[in-house]
């Protein structure tokens, strides 16, 4: 089946801090693809460049070179108007459910906005909001309430409903459960899987947590210092990793024994540096 999204040799760099400081290369030739209805998990340490890959696909950071093709069109080349049209099929769920929703707008208004922007009447939008709330398992009266009346997990359900509002083909999920407790994580992940089954939406699922990525992804790509060092079927990459960095990531994943966990973490940091070390290297 043809890919829905193809990224080829993507390079992104940011200006270095201070005068005369070289640009910092954050993505150094990233290539990936996602098929319709598929989940590609992007995993790696903090600072490895995962979020920047998602932001580049969404058109939120300037790209130095490379090609991003979505539904057969070059996103990095099309005119801004066409980019906005294509952008409807490309939505995002951010990490922090406490800052991603407008605190002064009711959930109903937040969910209606993209629908009204698409030319739906107020009545159609109201009906569709009802269906969206049902789909993410929130009560119908949530439409009248403000974000502060909801827990983190419920807010993330609202963010999922907003991303789904105009039937996108791909959703970039950027650490969508990292801010939630473990039980809530599981219910939100189950919901994302159920929605994928019902709608055939594809996900680019960004997370530092291998267990989470393994749970939701068909395929996994491992990001290290701005490059994909390994990719393949989720079970292969997480079950029989080939690259030493993936093996180290797996070993550094949380285990019940605190002392063992600390020792593994120290070994990982000795080998690969701590959080945010990638760009400085």
Ligand X SMILES: Nc1ncnc2c1ncn2[C@@H]1O[C@H](COP(=O)(O)OP(=O)(O)OP(=O)(O)O)[C@@H](O)[C@H]1O
279 binds ligand X (CB under 6 A): yes
Applying CB under 6 A, the span of 43-51, 81-89, 155-163, 187-195 interacting with ligand X comes to: 43-51
- What does DSSP assign to residue 23? P
Indicate the residue among 52 and 100 with the shorter CB distance to ligand X: 52
Residues 216, 224, 49, 153, Cα dihedral to 10°: 30
Angle, vertex CA 185, rays to CA 131 and CA 162, nearest 5: 30
Nearest CA among 119, 214, 112, 111 for reference residue 160: 111
51 binds ligand X (CB under 6 A): yes
- What does DSSP assign to residue 42? E
161 binds ligand X (CB under 6 A): no
Indicate the residue among 49 and 153 with the shorter CB distance to ligand X: 49
44 binds ligand X (CB under 6 A): yes
Tokens of residue 277, six digits: 């070390």
Site string for ligand X, 202-231 (x = CB under 6 A): ------x-----------------------
47 binds ligand X (CB under 6 A): yes
49 binds ligand X (CB under 6 A): yes
176 binds ligand X (CB under 6 A): no
We find the least distance from the C-beta atom of residue 236 to ligand X, in angstroms, to be 22
We find the least distance from the C-beta atom of residue 77 to ligand X, in angstroms, to be 22
CA-to-CA separations, 252 to 152, 205, 268, 269, 278, in angstroms, rounded: 27, 20, 6, 9, 17
Applying CB under 6 A, the span of 50-58, 75-83, 112-120, 260-268 interacting with ligand X comes to: 50-58
We find the least distance from the C-beta atom of residue 223 to ligand X, in angstroms, to be 6
We find the least distance from the C-beta atom of residue 22 to ligand X, in angstroms, to be 13
CB 143 within 8 A of CB 107: yes
| Closest residue to ligand X: CB criterion | 51
Q: How many CB atoms lie within 10 A of CB 17?
A: 7
Distance between CA 77 and CA 101 in Å, rounded? 30
Q: How many CB atoms lie within 10 A of CB 127?
A: 13
Contact residues for ligand X, defined by CB under 6 A: 14, 26, 44, 46-52, 208, 276, 278-279
């Amino acid at each position: 089946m043809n890919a829905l999204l193809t990224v080829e040799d993507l390079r992104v760099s940011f200006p270095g801090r201070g005068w005369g400081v070289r640009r910092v290369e954050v993505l150094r030739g990233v290539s990936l693809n996602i098929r319709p209805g598929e989940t590609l998990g992007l995993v790696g340490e903090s600072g490895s460049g995962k979020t920047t890959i998602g932001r580049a696909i969404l058109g939120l950071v300037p790209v130095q070179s490379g090609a991003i093709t979505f539904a057969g069109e070059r996103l990095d080349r099309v005119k801004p108007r066409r980019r906005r049209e294509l952008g409807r099929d490309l939505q995002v769920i951010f990490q922090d459910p406490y800052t991603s929703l407008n605190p002064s707008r009711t959930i109903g208004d937040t969910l209606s906005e993209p629908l009204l922007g698409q030319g739906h009447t107020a009545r159609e939008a109201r009906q569709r909001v009802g269906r969206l709330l049902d789909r993410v398992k929130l009560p119908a009266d949530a439409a009248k309430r403000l974000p502060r009346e909801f827990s983190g997990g419920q807010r993330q359900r609202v963010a999922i409903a907003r991303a789904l509002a105009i039937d996108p083909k791909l959703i970039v999920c950027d650490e969508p459960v990292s801010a939630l407790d473990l039980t809530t994580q599981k219910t939100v992940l189950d919901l994302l899987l159920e929605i994928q089954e019902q709608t055939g939406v594809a996900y680019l699922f960004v997370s530092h947590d291998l267990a989470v990525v393994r749970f939701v992804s068909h395929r996994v790509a491992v990001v290290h210092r701005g490059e994909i060092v390994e990719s393949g079927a989720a079970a292969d990459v997480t079950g029989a990793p080939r690259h030493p960095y993936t093996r180290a990531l797996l070993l550094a994943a949380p285990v019940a024994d605190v002392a063992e966990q600390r020792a593994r973490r120290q070994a990982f940091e000795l080998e690969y540096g701590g959080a945010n070390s990638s760009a400085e290297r």
